[in-house]
Amino acid sequence: MDNLPGSPARRGWLQWIDPRGKQGGGWGFLINRLAGLGLTFYLFLHLMVLGKLANGPESYDGFVKLAHHPVVVAGEVLVVLAVLLHGFNGIRILLTSFGIGVARQRLWLVLAGVLALGIGLFFILRMAGVLS
Amino acid sequence: MPQTKPTALIIGAGFTGIATAYDLAMRGFQVDVLERGELGSGTSGRTHGLLHSGARYCVHDQEAAVECVAENAILRKIARQCIEGNSGYFIAVNESDLAFAESFTRGAEQCSLPIAEVPPAELLTVEPMLSPQLLRAFRVNDGTFDPLRLAYAFAASARQHGARFYPYCEVEELLLDQSRRVVGASVWNRVTDQRQQYQADVLINTAGVWAGRIAAMAGIELPVKPVPGVMVAVEKRLCQNTINRLNEPGDGDIILPQRRMVVIGTTSFDAVDVDYIPIIREQVEQMVDQGSEMIPAIRQTAHRGVFMSSRPLIKASGDARNLARTCKVYDHEKSDGVGGFFSLIGGKATTCRAMAEKISDMVSARFGIDAACQTARIELESYRKFFQFGTEQA
Amino acid sequence: MNDLWKLTVQIKRYKPGRGQWTSTYNIQIHPDEYVLDAVEQIWAYQDRSLVYRHLCHHSTCGACGMRVNHREKLACITRIRDITRAGGTILIEPLRNMPVISDLAVDMGQFFRLLDEIDYDQVQPAGSLPTGKGIRPDKKQPDGIERLVDCLECGLCVSACPAGATSGEYMGPAALAAIQLSSSSGYADMLDLADSEDGAWRCHSAFACTDVCPSNVEPGWRIMDLRKKLIARQLSVMVKKNEVTHG
């Protein structure tokens, strides 16, 4: 209208990570992005570590000692969860992108989460020695 | 010397103000429209959306009925994009309703209003949710419109002809010169929180239920009588056509389909301050009761929205239900000695184009502009084009 | 009256030149009234500088879209009882991803100009539209009846969309849904318009649009259906080309 200067739209990538008001698929979107970023970072680390192999057994052994540090173990757990969440939700997104199962996408999201966390829990318990 | 257009300042962008802006802009005025809120945010937005066949008025307000018959056809042609162009039915579900049938059919005939009797069994196949107590039914030419889209369609067309719209601008004072002629308005721009002045050759007051407030700024008293009522929108489209109670105009006498809802209306009571009216619970229950007599499923259907809306009636003696729904136009130079100032009060959504024609004829004649009204003949622009036409900044 | 609730209402304000700030109001209102009634009460009795958009008060016009406690809602059908309790606080902010005119009013010009380009009529034959929980047209609708379509053009979906948060050019769920509805009902074929990086391919399947839509449009499903159609079209073009060269 003719008297309204207006301001630029309130946008920004912060909207991606803002948890307030998020529902269902918004969480799927966020988790996939965080998991994706996390896995990319992990891939980089992984390659770095493998690179140490080129420096000989002492260098690699040094890393293996570090691998028992609780932070690294926690990181491993996160990686597994990230792979599971990103993977299962990714399958949901792949299928819905081709128009398959879209009407029940919220159900698939919940299932993806349950599967990912269930298998993740199994992995954690195994690592903790509770399960073999 | 280049011919400059006469300037008109319209106060109030409800259906009347917007349609007037369109008409005057087409006839060669430079029109500015001031509105204190969003376009149509007064009574116009809160219409239940009935495109009147006129049948509701054919007994007690035949002037309004005849106007509705004509304007119904015109709007169906020029505002097709905003209208569910189905039908309506007047139905009798008890003895009192049946007794009204004779006045109804006679009134319709007197107004040349097309009605057609429909056997109840046949109507129940078209409208299965109607009460099984259905005794008698007549089909009429009712329709449903969307208020934003109707308002913006007229506004888009007005803008296309050079009219300018200034929402969120509240008129605080009218500016008068020494000869008591209104020459402009002092306005509070609520967006920038600044005061501005607008001048024009003529000011037109179409502020609806607030028209009295505007006129008072020039020391004029207008017989505006706001009469609010409640409307209840429920979550299911329980009928495909408008369902009206075959009886005297009364509370809860209409159920109107719109999108996936039906809207039940309405009640009628006096109020002075109509800027905010709290919802009256008893009236909501009343709507459910009355509505359920025509469509029983209403009682089990969840409410989607409930709201109050104020009809801009004209003070006269008599029961509010039967106050005339035609409008009154004032040339305040003649009626009050205040020049450059016109008002239109009363009326209803369905006749907005005709009301605009009436006041535009009067104003144009004052300025010696001979252009005839064209608005009945031309299809309105798409309401979405409102955001395309016109200048960007004031 | 005893059955009124005392509430704190916080409203995100904006005036050009002054910037943004939050205003806090205390009101008393019946819990079966709606958020829009609360806003109107505040404007009427406490703060006439408050700017907000509203017309129909019953979810046909789409004008009163706002964020209520961080969720996109139509203020006119959001019952106070459903979003807070007596003594609670409501936060009201304007929609996102669109320029703010002032306070709770946003500029929907770009939104409507795009919808105008698509030009899907708001009134359609009832049989070409879905009913109930359906997504496809319900052919069992009576003949000769037309109705206003489901999409109110309220912009809640555009506000909720994370892709819209970082792309001013993205067509957005409402426009894409209109293209899908238009094309699949045979009204007009606008598939080309959706076949761009700012069209159906920009979506990242957050389905936030579907989550917030107050009017059964299912824009997320429609965007995915558009992709299916665009791929099918592309495949059939490739097959035809293959036939031409080898046939």
User: Which tens digit of pLDDT belongs to each residue from B311-331?
Assistant: 999 987 666 666 667 899 999
CA distance between the termini of chain C: 83
Neighbours, chain B (3 or more CB pairs < 8 A): A, C
If you measure CA to CA, which chain C residue comes closest to A92? C205
CATH number at residue C22: 3.10.20.30
Q: Can you say how many angstroms the Cα of residue C229 is from the centroid of all Cα atoms in its chain?
A: 23
Please name the residue of chain A whose CA is at the shortest distance from the CA of residue C231: A98
* Cβ burial B202-238 (10 Å sphere, 16+ → b, else e): bbbbbbbbbbbebbebbebebebbbbbbbbbbbebbb
For tokens 């329980």, what's the residue?
B238
Task: Give domain status of residue C244, yes or no.
Answer: no
- Tell me if chain B has a CB within 8 Å of the CB of C51: yes
Condensed to tens digits (0 to 9), the pLDDT of residues A43-89 reads 998 888 888 777 777 777 777 777 778 888 888 889 999 999 999 99
One domain for residues C74 and C179: no
Query: How many other C-beta atoms can be found within 10 angstroms of the C-beta atom of residue B173?
Result: 14
Question: What is the C-alpha separation between A99 and B197, in angstroms, rounded?
Answer: 57
> How many domains does chain C contain in total?
2
Could you tell me if C179 and C132 lie in one domain? yes
Q: Is B1 a residue whose pLDDT tops 50?
A: no
Mean pLDDT value of segment B368-377:
95
- C-alpha dist (Å) from residue C157 to A100, C154, C172, C192, C208: 22, 8, 8, 22, 7
pLDDT top residue among C142 and B140: B140
- Note whether residue B367 is domain-resident: yes
Distance CA B292, CA B300 (A): 9
Distance CA B386, CA B384 (A): 5
List the single residue in A4, A13, A103 with the smallest CB-CB distance to C166.
Answer: A13
Among chain C residues, the shortest Cα distance to A3 is held by C101
Q: Which residues of A touch B393 (CB under 8 A)?
A: 2-3, 5
Token readout for C116 is 């105008």
pLDDT interval class at B393 (50, 70, 90): very low
**A102 contact C CB<8A:** yes
Boundary residue ending a domain (C48, C72, C106): C106
B302 to chain A, any CB pair closer than 8 A? The answer is no
* Burial of residue A106, with CB atoms counted within 10 A of its CB: 0-12 exposed, 13-18 middle, 19 or more buried: middle
**Residue B173 domain-assigned?**
yes
Bridge partners of B258?
Answer: B261
Does C70 reside within a domain?
Answer: yes
Q: Are strands B341-346 and B202-205 parallel, antiparallel or unpaired?
A: parallel
- Residue A7 to residue C212, Cβ atoms within 8 A: no
State which of B288, B314, B340 marks the end of a domain.
Answer: B314
Whole-number pLDDT of residue B317: 62
**Number of helices and strands in chain B (H, E):** 9, 20
Please indicate, yes or no, if residue C222 is contained in any of the structural domains: yes
**Residue C246 counted as domain residue:** no
Tell which residue, B210, B297, B231, B208, has the closest CA to residue B49: B231
If you average pLDDT over every residue of chain A, what do you get?
A: 84
Is B49 inside any structural domain?
Answer: no
Q: Is residue C245 part of a domain?
A: no
CB pairs under 8 A between A and C: 106
pLDDT higher than 60, residue B306:
yes
Contact residues, chain C, for B84 at CB < 8 Å: 123, 146-148
Number of B to C CB contacts under 8 A, please give it. Answer: 166
Of A51-65, B144-158, C31-45, C203-217, the least confident: A51-65
| CA C9/CA A119 separation, integer angstroms | 44
Residue where one domain finishes, among candidates C48, C80, C106: C106
Do the Cβ atoms of C127 and C143 come closer than 8 Å?
Answer: yes
Q: Which of B316, B11, B285 is nearest to B172 (CA)?
A: B11
Tell which of B32, B161, B191, B193 to mutate to test the A interface (max A CBs under 10 Å). B191
Cα–Cα dist A80/B100, whole Å? 77
> Would you call C242 exposed, middle or buried from its count of C-beta atoms within 10 A (0-12, 13-18, 19+)?
exposed
Q: What is the CA radius of gyration of chain C?
A: 21
Contacts of C among chains (3+ CB pairs under 8 A): A, B
Average pLDDT over residues B23-32: 97
Among B242-256, C8-22, C129-143, where is mean pLDDT lowest? C129-143
The answer on B308 and B230 residing in a single domain is yes
Q: Mark whether B238 and B259 lie in a shared domain.
A: yes
Q: Do B170 and C63 touch (CB under 8 A)?
A: no
Selection from B290, B371, B342 nearest residue B25 by Cα: B371
Chain A environment of C102 (Cβ under 8 Å): 4
Task: Give B-chain residues touching C55 at CB under 8 angstroms.
Answer: 38-41, 44-46, 147-148, 151
Q: Is residue B205 within 8 Å of residue B198, measured between CB atoms?
A: no
* pLDDT at residue B3 tops 70: no
Single-letter amino acid code for the residue at A28: G
CA A99 to CA C226: how far, in whole Å?
Answer: 8
Cβ-defined contact of A21 to C231 (cutoff 8 Å): no
Q: Does B45 touch chain A (CB under 8 A)?
A: no
CB contact under 8 A, C162 and A7: no
Whole-number pLDDT of residue C166: 87
B93 CB-contact burial (10 Å; exposed 0-12 / middle 13-18 / buried 19+):
buried
**Mutation for testing the C interface, residue in A1, A3, A7 having most C CBs under 10 Å:** A7
Task: Please tell me if residue A7 touches chain B, with a CB cutoff of 8 Å.
Answer: no
The last residue of a domain, from among C74, C106, C138:
C106
Question: Quick one: pLDDT at residue B346?
Answer: 94
B191 with B231, same domain: the answer is: no
Do both B170 and B193 map to the same domain?
yes
What's the domain range around B265?
A: 85-143+225-314
C154: domain CATH number is: 1.10.1060.10
Mean pLDDT of B154-175: 97
B344 and B355 in contact (C-beta within 8 Å)? yes
Percent of chain C with pLDDT over 70: 99
CA dist., res. B94 & res. B290, Å (int): 12
- B195 interaction partners in chain A (CB closer than 8 Å): none
Domain identity same for B263 and B342: no
In angstroms, the separation between the Cα of residue B192 and the nearest Cα of chain A is 9
Residue C165, φ and ψ in degrees, nearest 5: -70, -30
Amino acid identity for residue C146 in this structure: E
Closest chain A CA to residue B163: A2
Instruction: Indicate the residue of A21, A97, A105 with minimum beta-carbon distance to C71.
Output: A21
> How large is the angle between the packed helices A24-53 and A57-66, nearest 10 degrees?
150
- Residues C73, C139, single domain; the answer is no
C148 and C203 both lie in a single domain: yes
Among B314, B335, B365, identify where a domain stops.
B314
The residue type of A81 is: L
pTM above 0.80, yes or no: yes
Mind telling me how many Å the CA of C162 is from chain A's nearest CA? 6
pLDDT score, position B394: 36
Contact criterion met (CB < 8 Å) for B392 and A2: yes
Residues of A in contact with C228 (CB under 8 A): 98-99
Provide the chain C residues 139-178 that lie in CB contact (below 8 A) with chain B: 142, 144-150, 152
Does C44 lie in the same domain as C122? no
Which option is the CATH number for A28-127: 2.60.40, 1.10.287, 1.20.1300, 1.10.3470? 1.20.1300
Query: Which among B220, B225, B228, B206 is positioned nearest to B278, based on CA atoms?
Result: B228
Higher pLDDT, B110 or C168: B110
Residue C85 placed within a domain: yes
The count of domains in chain B is 2
B310 three-class SS? strand
Residue type, C192: D
Subunit contact C101:A103, Cβ cutoff 8 A:
no
CA–CA dist B346, B328 (Å, integer): 6
In the predicted structure, residue C189 carries a pLDDT above the cut 90: no
Q: Is residue B391 scored above 60 in pLDDT?
A: no
CB contact under 8 A, A1 and B167: yes
User: What does the DSSP assignment read for C192-242?
Assistant: HHHSSTTTGGG--S--HHHHH-SSS--HHHHHHHHHHHHHHHHHHHHHHHH
Q: What percent of chain B has pLDDT over 90?
A: 92
Does residue B357 lie within any of the structural domains? yes
Q: Does C133 touch chain B (CB under 8 A)?
A: no
Asked whether the predicted pLDDT for residue B66 surpasses 60, the reply is yes
Q: CA-to-CA distance for B162 and B175, rounded, in angstroms?
A: 24
Same domain, B31 and B172: yes
Residue of B nearest to A1 (CA): B165
Residue whose structure tokens are 């036409």: B389
Last residue of a domain, one of B293, B314, B335: B314
What mean pLDDT is reported for chain B? 94
Mean pLDDT throughout B10-30? 98
- Could you count the other beta carbons within 10 Å of the beta carbon of residue B38? 23
Enumerate the residues of chain C whose CB falls inside 8 A of the CB of residue A99.
224-225, 227-228
Q: What is the mean pLDDT of residues C125-129?
A: 94
Written as six digits, the tokens of B245 are: 């109670």
Q: Does A54 touch chain B (CB under 8 A)?
A: no
pLDDT computed for residue A103 by the predictor:
82
Structural domain for C169, as ranges = 109-236
